[in-house]
Amino acid sequence: MKFESLGLSTPILKAVTEKGYETPTPIQDKAIPAVLDGKDVMAAAQTGTGKTAGFVLPILELLAKGQRARANQARVLILTPTRELAAQIEESVRTYGKHLALSSTVVFGGVKINPQMIKLRKGVDILVATPGRLLDLHGQNAVNFKQLEVLVLDEADRMLDMGFIHDIRKILATLPRNRQTLMFSATFSNDIRSLAKTLVRNPVEISVTPRNTAVKAIEHWIAPVDKKQKPALLAHLIQEEDWQRVLVFSRTKHGANKLTSYLEGKKITAAAIHGNKSQNARTKALAAFKDGRVRVLVATDIAARGIDIDQLPQVVNFDLPNVPEDYIHRIGRTGRAGSSGQAISLVCADEFPQLADIERLLKKLLERRVIEGFEPVHELLESRLDLRPFKAKRPKKPKKGYQDGQRSGANSQGNRPASSRSKSKSRFKS
């Protein structure tokens, strides 16, 4: 199967070829024809499977045949939970649409709102947005959706986890009912399926991997270790195994900062990204990690959404996530595009309940490797596989205050440090 057989026009195929792609991934092969047929879609695909192109390519094809956006209008709205993911998607839009006379822009919190309002005055064909900032802009009449043709919810499960459900419902109330709706996500929980019933009409359901399972190309293993020894063990593994690019997950912002300082003290270049970092600092840290100037990137779950790195051989869970599905999201950043990868979890005795939940979700026990010199004093309990299904949980209520990609409440003008993304051009020209 080649991209040429999917019904895409020459300008889009040229951009795909220039990007170096010849064969669509399974999610692209299934999603692109369905979107082109005007059908609603619910697609479950893990990170790294090419799902962004799975909706961007057919959307560009549909827009190229219609009327251009009028002032303060958007023809396509793509909602996503975090700034990084929003910026990444809009970059894909510009990359694949560079031979088309279509316009796009991205809006999110953490930057001044006025430049975004100016970009929207002429109207945009594709608007990528985080929910909080979009509501701010709509409230100031900077954007309207009378001309909306397609709504995309990307990472719908994460938006629900982050408490965006109320913002999403407010946004939906402003949209025309006669639209095409696409939901793309790494996993589809029961809560997400309940939400989907109110959004999509007779959707085409697509799943390219078994629900809530991890990529087979990834080697999973855990290292039992005492909590206080985790930083030393991580430094040991990085140096002894000569890991050159490692993404490390910390449960807290404070923990991410503390671990970064420890690694730097061991002469291992490291940077942290989390919600307390300015957008500019997060962008610089990610760029340094991608080009090899930083060896270790320590991230919290929310800040890591949208990290798109082709060659990432190691992902380390310094802390196990409280939500087992987050394990799937984390390790999905390695083992991409057919390459192998390792997912290593440093697990202390206190984290046995989280480990048991993860193994229950994966339906298998993870291999344990005790590292010489780091044998735990506090023994990690032996696992017994629990195959009972998880009970559906109610969506979380939105928290007051700041969350990545979400409004801070009182500060709707976005008095946060400016992002380098805010200066990007918003037009493609043929």
Domain regions of the chain by residue span: 3-189+408-423, 218-368
| 91 membership: H or E segment, kind and range | helix 83-96
Q: Tell me if 83 sits within 8 A of 419, measured CB to CB.
A: yes
Q: How confident is the model at residue 158 (pLDDT cuts 50, 70, 90)?
A: confident
**Percent of the residues in the chain that have a pLDDT greater than 90, as a whole number:** 53
What is the per-residue pLDDT across 368-405, written as a single tens digit (0 to 9) for each?
Answer: 999 999 999 999 999 887 766 656 555 455 544 434 44
Is the predicted pLDDT of residue 416 greater than 90, yes or no? Answer: no
What is the per-residue pLDDT across 241-253, written as a single tens digit (0 to 9) for each?
Answer: 999 999 999 999 9
Handedness of CA 372, 373, 377, 380 (dihedral sign): negative
Q: According to the model, what pLDDT value does residue 304 have?
A: 67
Instruction: Residue 185: count other Cβ atoms within 10 Å of its Cβ.
Output: 22
Average pLDDT for residues 132-150, to the nearest whole number?
Answer: 95
Instruction: Residue 198: count other Cβ atoms within 10 Å of its Cβ.
Output: 8
26-45 burial by CB neighbour count: b if 16+ within 10 A, else e? Answer: bbbbbbbebbbeebbbbbbb
Same fold? 3-189+408-423, 218-368: yes
Q: According to the model, what pLDDT value does residue 423 have?
A: 39
Q: According to the model, what pLDDT value does residue 368 have?
A: 95
Of the candidates 266, 268, 334, 323, the one whose C-alpha atom is nearest the C-alpha of residue 300 is 323
Is the predicted pLDDT of residue 410 greater than 60, yes or no? Answer: no
Average pLDDT for residues 268-285, to the nearest whole number?
Answer: 86
Q: How confident is the model at residue 336 (pLDDT cuts 50, 70, 90)?
A: low
CA 274 to chain centre: 14
Token representation of residue 349: 């005795």
Q: According to the model, what pLDDT value does residue 156 have?
A: 85
| 43 membership: H or E segment, kind and range | strand 41-44
Q: According to the model, what pLDDT value does residue 390 have?
A: 58
Q: How confident is the model at residue 425 (pLDDT cuts 50, 70, 90)?
A: very low
Is the predicted pLDDT of residue 211 greater than 50, yes or no? Answer: no
Q: According to the model, what pLDDT value does residue 417 have?
A: 38
Among 15-19, 156-160, 363-367, the least confident range: 156-160
Is the predicted pLDDT of residue 63 greater than 80, yes or no? Answer: yes
User: Cα separation of 113 and 125, whole Å?
Assistant: 19
CATH architecture of 3-189+408-423: 3-Layer(aba) Sandwich (3.40)
DSSP 103: B
What is the per-residue pLDDT across 301-332, written as a single tens digit (0 to 9) for each?
Answer: 766 665 666 668 899 999 999 888 788 878 87
What is the third-level CATH fold of 218-368? Rossmann fold (3.40.50)
Is the predicted pLDDT of residue 108 greater than 80, yes or no? Answer: yes
Half-sphere exposure of 405 (CA within 13 A, CB side): 30
Q: How confident is the model at residue 161 (pLDDT cuts 50, 70, 90)?
A: confident
